[in-house]
Structure 1
């Protein structure tokens, strides 16, 4: 596709947080976490910044060279580490918006459905600037990692946060795992899995 992609670092934190904030302002799940639009405009960037911080520490972030799209990935081992922090969701809520229980709730719910037993790449989030959506930037970012997954025979996993995004992931080889994660009084999320392309 001719999309230049690079690995983001600490120096990209502010720009990537802003990009994620813009990209997910009207996302169904973000709108559920922050149902009040004014509150979402004030606070949503703090959640995006917290997510980015986790991924910069434990995974990696790919960005397009022009900064218009990014993908947050977490390499996930076959078995959970014994020192995994059970209090992580509560700490996330405390750091972002202590009065908003849905921040903790979404973290616990997604962790509860995450597949275990097989090492895989977890696409936590992919964000594209609203004015650049539909240009194939997201596809290029994801395919960049899926090509490596195929070479290394690694599966990949994600939760689609909108019905509109699900067909994109299906075109890239992801399949719906059969049961949605239905947020309480909120929208569904679609857990999706991709096995690596077979070697010939």
Structure 2
């Protein structure tokens, strides 16, 4: 699934290769640090000690999915990473196998690892090929300085050039405001996790 729809990352951005262990580890570390205290990660792993242990495995699994079905970008200075999936117009049905496999690989006794996959899949739009921003992480000491926007800007330029929409789920109202500045708009009602925080599906039509 997926494929290269553009010319590659912009200046100061490297495309993560599966065999580049240094880049892979840097991306996993960034994702883990950035999302340790995120509302959704805290819902998936309510116990802080358990979260510190298992959360890196979830982030590594997401990176593997991106490398299989899209790509991962990493800022050359190691301060930000973004995971993108290339979603075809007619996505293949996995009959729920993906979330179950994720749970088995990451934390078999934790049903929320599987549930988060099923719930996000239930609101994911179908019928048009698009880029899916699965995750973006910025080093804690660089957040709020535009590093994330700079990292994803080249992909959004590709989307505009190719006429391809983009999609994401923001994990907080605050981050959804930041995505609105990049052209994303809310897609229906928030996804409300059981006894947990809302997530905000957002869609971006290509510009120009």
> TM-score, length-normalised on structure 1?
0.95
Match of 1:151 in 2: 161
Which whole-Å deviations, capped at 9, do the CAs of 1:2-25 have from their partners, x for residues lacking one?
Answer: 961111112122221111000100
The answer on whether the counterparts of 1:3 and 1:137 sit within 8 Å (CA) in structure 2 is no
**Number of residue pairs matched?**
196
Instruction: Give the match for residue 62 of structure 2.
Output: 51
> 1 CA distance for matches of 2:142 and 2:14?
18
2:180 to 152, 167, 170: 170
Aligned equivalent of 1:9: 17
Give yes or no for contact 2:12–2:76 (8 Å, CA) kept in 1: yes
**Unmatched segments (≥5 aa) in structure 2:** 1-9
- For 1:60, what is the secondary structure of its paired residue? strand
Corresponding residue to 1:32 among 22, 43, 56 = 43
CA shift at 1:81, angstroms?
A: 2.3
CA distances 1:75-94 after superposition (whole Å, capped 9, x unpaired) = 11111125x46311111101
| Structure 2 SS opposite 1:62 | strand
Structure 1 residue ranges, 4+ long, deviating more than 2 angstroms after superposition: none
The answer as to whether partners of 1:78 and 1:118 remain within 8 angstroms in 2 is yes
The CA distance in 2 between the partners of 1:36 and 1:3, in whole Å, is 40
Aligned to 1:109: 119
- Give 1:178 shift: 2.3
